[in-house]
Structure 1
């Protein structure tokens, strides 16, 4: 990596560090309770605000990727930073508004937050891969690492950020406002340092999006890669949202919350170890090996019905399912589509976002054991797609080289 790009890379990773807080705060029970009290709603109603983040992602991803390819990573990242500041500071205003439209304000702000996430994805994923071009898999997994670190620190931050209003209500506005201000600072900083794609634009006019798409060979193999963005997301999202319920009903575990700790530990360890392994092993191999590990784990958990297996399963799924697999898929897609990295990142993230909506909605109407079976089926599909992609990888590389 060229040292002159180091500050730019740090700024981009810091965007995702704060994002690790921003995407998790509405899932924290204490914040849900504080917001629900302010808005006069049930705590579960805050889940609808969280869903609005996904809605915003789906709205923005189709045009965020093309914009990143046409105008550059800097503009896309800047839009994401500014929008995230609006989302977070907007939550503080929504809390203060109370029952005078606070809930509605928060819903709109959450949509903006989802839009900002899309612009960050389509700007930063390609940018860090371009900055650390010798190890793009490591570069994109670094994003997940910064998110995971922030999420681990969040419970400690909550204890410091909590305040009490003049009316005696619990408030987390200092956290919302503080993170929003940091995003405003990052918005300014992104314009102060160089990026690789900026210099490429200076050397000559890049090919337009439509022309680029016309020259791109979207084969069955490449479509399979994008669909893997759906299946690999389903594997860890279904576990994250439903495995503790399975442990209660099928393993007789009254309080399985400790599973989250093992899950996070597996994710963090995987990000370090996998980033080292990708220096020796092709990124595409993990797209097959990790889903196979997840599939075996899920089957063992379904059959075993024991707390020990649930703990082991949490660690392994955290490692092989959530420990950078989606980022590796994105990295491989970027390599196969060098001219439209932002667009192909958007396609993978659209598949991932669709999974969040469809699979989790279906899971909400099913028994935990049936959810586990659905996860096994979905992961098995991912294994078949990974096998197909690995078998046809040489052809995919050849198509990418002919596209240059």
Structure 2
């Protein structure tokens, strides 16, 4: 707590609390937005897909520019762009205009990522992995709270736009603090010196096959993002229309899902400190994702959906992508920036394509969840292949490589 950057770090985390809300706010207000834009829920799903396009536009270059111009400008850019998104959605008269503002949300996410992740690693050089994993917890808290707030608005017959106004107010206050008092370290200062002082031995050559292992990880990046992104967007609708749950209880499924992801962050962080390897989590979490989604599809009852929402949140949204990236950096230790861009670009493609596909399937929500079951099964197969390759290349006594690359978590 004595770290001079702590106030700035809290401000950075608060941005991701709002980001967590921003990821699901369109889905949580799907019916109201569809009526406002005179379209269907499938039309709203198309707008949701625009967030993935926004990330694709700037993701590969924003990190490079952040290294060149510093972290603060990109955090500020991210907040300003998010403000345009929240205000723009409220003012959009049609899905065409809303689509443009959805793209801005994806751009805002990329700007925040490129400024925040490296900034936190530079603020807390002795606990980089933990500093980044906490971001996931703040995202999950936002995703936990929004459905409760929206349920309150619906129950009281209040205007749905208050959820957007809340985000705008928080971001404006946070932006004013960032501009006035936000302190950031100089980008990349003493990075090499710190590594030498810590005496860490990093594998100097890539052991993985660029084409085979690289393809496995890129596919895993797509599938892991697709699995939890799909369920986060359609879980409430599935609970209401397939499981026959009421409005408040169906919206609460997202809250159970978010609690599961928060618990997973805590469990994973605690076990990682006890020398449990990231590779050991990968297969277990993806298997749990598949089984929980399968049970929700086969037994669509209120009780089953409530329990499995927590489990799928734990296994699919609690940091499994971060674990995948960390393991990938063990295979390719020389190009962490490159693999990070490639891995998350695959995830962004999922954010773009999955809503388009599910939008076309919106008349049958059971089929949407069956689609997610298939995706999760593919993810499990990929995780098994990655695990086999890992132990083939590094053997069972390879804790060092994973531990030294903990700072690549995103």
* Conserved 8 A contact 2:150-2:160: no
Instruction: For 2:338 and 2:232, locate their aligned partners in 1 and report how far apart those are by CA, in whole Å.
Output: 28
Instruction: State the match for 2:74 in structure 1.
Output: 79
* Conserved 8 A contact 1:87-1:110: no
Instruction: State the match for 2:382 in structure 1.
Output: 385
Instruction: State the match for 2:262 in structure 1.
Output: 268
Instruction: For 2:184 and 2:63, locate their aligned partners in 1 and report how far apart those are by CA, in whole Å.
Output: 22
Instruction: State the match for 1:52 in structure 2.
Output: 50
Instruction: For 2:389 and 2:257, locate their aligned partners in 1 and report how far apart those are by CA, in whole Å.
Output: 32
Q: Secondary structure of 1:364's partner?
A: helix
Residues 265-302 of structure 1: CA deviation (Å, up to 9, x unaligned): 21222222222122121122211110011222233333
Shift in Å, 1:20: 2.5
Question: Pairwise mapping of residues 31-50 of structure 1 onto structure 2 (< 5 A)?
Answer: 33=32, 41-42=38-39, 44=41, 47-50=45-48
Instruction: For 2:74 and 2:290, locate their aligned partners in 1 and report how far apart those are by CA, in whole Å.
Output: 38
Which residues of structure 1 form unaligned runs of 5+? Answer: 162-168, 204-213
Instruction: State the match for 2:62 in structure 1.
Output: 64
CA gap of 1:4–1:392, structure 2 versus 1, over 3 A, is farther
Instruction: For 1:107 and 1:216, locate their aligned partners in 2 and report how far apart those are by CA, in whole Å.
Output: 42
Shift in Å, 1:323: 1.5
Shift in Å, 1:57: 0.9
Q: Secondary structure of 1:225's partner?
A: helix
Q: Secondary structure of 1:198's partner?
A: coil
Instruction: For 2:206 and 2:309, locate their aligned partners in 1 and report how far apart those are by CA, in whole Å.
Output: 43
Instruction: For 2:340 and 2:244, locate their aligned partners in 1 and report how far apart those are by CA, in whole Å.
Output: 41
Instruction: For 2:234 and 2:122, locate their aligned partners in 1 and report how far apart those are by CA, in whole Å.
Output: 37
Q: Secondary structure of 1:194's partner?
A: coil
Cα RMSD over matched residues?
4.2
Residues 348-397 of structure 1: CA deviation (Å, up to 9, x unaligned): 22111211232332233343333333323222221222122223335377
Residues 94-136 of structure 1: CA deviation (Å, up to 9, x unaligned): 756x76xx97765444323311211222333344356555655
* Conserved 8 A contact 2:75-2:111: yes
Do residues 193 (structure 1) and 190 (structure 2) align?
no
Q: Which moved more, 1:274-283 or 1:218-227?
A: 218-227
Instruction: State the match for 1:10 in structure 2.
Output: 10
Do residues 29 (structure 1) and 21 (structure 2) align?
no
CA gap of 1:200–1:7, structure 2 versus 1, over 3 A, is farther
* Conserved 8 A contact 2:17-2:138: yes
Instruction: State the match for 1:370 in structure 2.
Output: 367
Instruction: State the match for 2:408 in structure 1.
Output: none
Equivalent residue for 1:329, pick from 324, 329, 336: 324
Instruction: State the match for 1:239 in structure 2.
Output: 231
Instruction: State the match for 1:115 in structure 2.
Output: 107
Q: TM-score, normalised by structure 2?
A: 0.74
Do residues 147 (structure 1) and 139 (structure 2) align?
yes
Which residues of structure 2 form unaligned runs of 5+? Answer: 154-158, 195-204, 405-410
Q: TM-score, normalised by structure 1?
A: 0.75
Residues 44-92 of structure 1: CA deviation (Å, up to 9, x unaligned): 5555544332221111113223334x427x33x5324324314414643
Q: Which moved more, 1:182-191 or 1:258-267?
A: 182-191
Instruction: For 2:181 and 2:122, locate their aligned partners in 1 and report how far apart those are by CA, in whole Å.
Output: 16
Do residues 223 (structure 1) and 215 (structure 2) align?
yes
Instruction: State the match for 2:306 in structure 1.
Output: 311
* Conserved 8 A contact 1:363-1:371: yes
* Conserved 8 A contact 1:259-1:311: yes
Question: Pairwise mapping of residues 91-106 of structure 1 onto structure 2 (< 5 A)?
Answer: 91-92=86-87, 95=90
Shift in Å, 1:253: 4.7
